Amino acid sequence: MLHPHQSRSSNSHHQQQNQLRVPSANSGSRSSSGTRQQQQQQFEIPQCAKHIRAGNGEGNKDDELVVLETATATYRLYARIGEGSFGTTHLAVIQTAKLLGDGLEDGIKDRQLLALQTGRSVVVKQIKKHMSAEPHQSESLELHCRNLESMDIVKSISHIKHCDHPFIAKLLDSQYALTTTDRPFEVYEYYAIGDAMNLLDHIAGTDERHREAVNLQTYVTYLSLQVAEALSYLHESGFIHFDLKIDNVLIDEAGDVKLGDFGLAKACALGKAIENPYYYWGSPCSVSVFASIRWVPPEQLEEGSRMVDHSVDWYSLGALMFHMIYGRLPFEEHRAKILESPAATAAANNSATNSDGTGTPPSNDKQLKRSFLKLWRANVRPKVDDRPKVNQRLKNFLYNLLSYESNSRLGKQGYTEVFQRFHGLCRDLDLHWFDSIGGGDVERMRKMLRRRDVARPYRIKLLQTLH
């Protein structure tokens, strides 16, 4: 059973804004057919602060295992940059790239050779294995919250041999655990900017128009279109992501999206439904954690098993867009209200009496969860802030994605209706990316996105500070 994991604070990336140097604005950009050129400001973005600290020795070094080897390459791990339910994440460098076999098609082989160059920085995710409860047994081959089926899904979605989608983070290499001494791990492309919130935070530090939403809505729409295209590709391929949140929307050096972390993805044919694989209600988590997973739709939180479909990802897209605009997750007001209630205070005071070590006594905890969901059902629209002042069509877009009832949620009928709303939103925001096509020609919109024919509204110059 999975333990829900909390989203990090939206303010965690403001620490580097004083490092930004913005040159004079530059006009002009590659323009798509039928669109006009738009102002394109350049931003100099420092490398993600977390990565810099790790590279300078402030990360937790892994003394037990420094070098990993596969049939494809040898990787030297030099800094730990993250740790979660599934394992630890390290910055690494390709120490030795090995010759690839002759069985690959030339295009695929060229792609993989380019990705696996000696000296290139990569990200290595070492996956935890299940620790046996029996004192006489050591680690078993069962992966903690991840199994071989899950790793196969990740490979089928994002491995560079199979995937050349521009907005999917590429899996470069991996190793299964075949013996109790093996370390299962995955190797991904490294994106030095970090995630989408890091990009927007740095831009906000230098762009007054961004803070007043003139440019913010443009940037959020641009990034969200790319996420929507990645989700559509994923859904067409027969999968649901189940873990779309700001941490998993990475940004490459050009300023474009790379959707990553498919560890929770499940197979589901487009237009079909599956039984809820992540029963958050039954997880032994406190109400504070339960109420913090606001990128997850209600049907995954409510008591009792329910069927879920691809619309869960569209709900999460709404939460992602809300987060990028307002700097917080939606329905924060519900979480705050339930945690400030007398019942929550009493439960917290009595938590030490719980003998099973899970904190809040289960009966009180479940009652608080019911109260949280009841409050949410009674107030299904998230509270929006006065600033930044957001276009009403964009607000309505968010409300429809964040629908409490999955049957009325935007995206329930597929990605077509989502892109049609994007087309209308671009017109309202005076963005001319799709002027040459009608709102019903969704496949042409998607093709323009994949071909990078949508003019980027900013230019990024990455300040390389990690050695």
One domain for residues 219 and 327: yes
pLDDT of residue 207: 66
**3 assigned to some structural domain:** no
Domains of the chain: total: 2
pLDDT surpassing 80 at residue 321 = yes
**255 assigned to some structural domain:** yes
pLDDT surpassing 90 at residue 14 = no
pLDDT surpassing 80 at residue 206 = no
For residues 125-153, give the mean pLDDT: 57
One domain for residues 208 and 158: no
Predicted confidence (pLDDT) per residue in 223-260, tens digit: 999 999 999 999 999 999 999 999 999 999 999 999 99
pLDDT of residue 380: 94
Predicted confidence (pLDDT) per residue in 65-86, tens digit: 588 888 888 999 988 888 766 6
Distance of CA 197 to the CA centre of its chain: 10
pLDDT of residue 382: 94
Residue 309: count other Cβ atoms within 10 Å of its Cβ. 21
> Which CATH number fits the domain that encloses residue 221?
1.10.510.10
Both structure tokens of 404:
């409490």
Any idea what DSSP says for residue 195?
Answer: B
Distance of CA 262 to the CA centre of its chain: 9
| % of the chain with per-residue pLDDT over 70 | 70
pLDDT of residue 41: 76
Q: Are strands 458-463 and 39-46 parallel, antiparallel or unpaired?
A: parallel
Residue reference for tokens 């109260």: 371
One domain for residues 152 and 211: no
Least confident stretch, 102-116, 163-177, 323-337, 349-363? 349-363
Both structure tokens of 445:
């919109």
Residue 453: count other Cβ atoms within 10 Å of its Cβ. 17
Q: According to the per-residue pLDDT averaged within each range, which of 60-74, 416-430, 452-466 is highest?
A: 416-430
The stretches of 299-441 forming alpha helices (DSSP H) are 311-326, 332-339, 342-349, 362-378, 392-401, 415-428
Give the residue with greater pLDDT, 311 vs 137: 311
For residue 19, name the pLDDT band (cuts at 50, 70, 90): very low
One domain for residues 216 and 99: no
Residue reference for tokens 């098993």: 305
399 class by beta-carbon count within 10 Å (0-12 exposed, 13-18 middle, 19+ buried): middle
One domain for residues 92 and 201: no
Entry pTM: 0.82
One domain for residues 176 and 222: no
pLDDT of residue 346: 67
Tell me the DSSP string of 318-359.
Answer: HHHHHHHHHSS-TTHHHHHHHHTSHHHHHHHHTGGG-TTSSS
pLDDT surpassing 70 at residue 49 = no
- Residue 434 is part of which domain span? 195-458
One domain for residues 139 and 269: no
One domain for residues 201 and 311: yes
Predicted confidence (pLDDT) per residue in 73-132, tens digit: 899 998 888 876 667 889 999 998 876 554 445 555 555 656 678 888 999 988 876 544
